[in-house]
Amino acid sequence: LRDRDAAVKWFTEAALAGSVEAQHMLGGMYARGKGVPQDLAKAAEWFRMAAEHGDDAAQLIFGLMLRDGRGVPKDDIAAYLWISDAVAQRPDGERRDIALKALETVARRLSPDQMHEAQERARARHAPGDLIGAAVVRGSEPVGARPSA
């Protein structure tokens, strides 16, 4: 028990000092209840902190938490943005495919107005030429957009 408490203390100190790895690790600990009582709200806080510092895995996890309303209020537009951030950072391959599939799932749940808002916000978050431009927002149709009737 003492070692576990020491690990949590160390990770917390490191996370608060800016260690993205420690932020991500604490998010996982709280999400799974490993070494700490399970607390999805705290998990979301730590994953968001790591996501804000560019951790693509944390961006995907936090986006999924927003999509599902786990530890945070459900918000499909915010989920789309965080998951699109993860997609933008991942090179082609299996990890990118996983993030794209999650993004497409969220995109299908958005109304046309919500999709427009998400697309505009995603464009504002990413510079022209970012991978996000090709991967998520294709011309005027974002990934997962429903075809016009």
- From residue 47, alpha-carbon distances to 41, 43, 82, 128 in Å are 10, 6, 11, 27
Count of beta carbons in the 10 Å neighbourhood of residue 44: 22
CA angle, 65 then 68 then 59, to 5°: 25
Is 122's pLDDT higher than 60? yes
Mean pLDDT over 28-53 rounds to: 96
When pLDDT is cut at 50, 70 and 90, the band that residue 64 belongs to is very high
Percent of the chain with pLDDT strictly greater than 90? 64
- For residue 33, the SS3 value is coil
Tokens representing 4?
Answer: 């576990």
Count of beta carbons in the 10 Å neighbourhood of residue 147: 5
Q: pTM to 2 decimals?
A: 0.82
Reported as half-sphere exposure (CB side, CA atoms, 13 A), residue 66 has a value of 25
**pLDDT 10s digits, 67-85:** 999 999 999 999 999 999 9
When pLDDT is cut at 50, 70 and 90, the band that residue 3 belongs to is confident
Tokens representing 103?
Answer: 């993004």
**pLDDT 10s digits, 25-34:** 999 999 999 9
Q: Supply the pLDDT for residue 140.
A: 38
Residues 6 or more apart from 99 whose CB is under 8 A from it? Answer: 56, 60, 83, 86, 87, 90
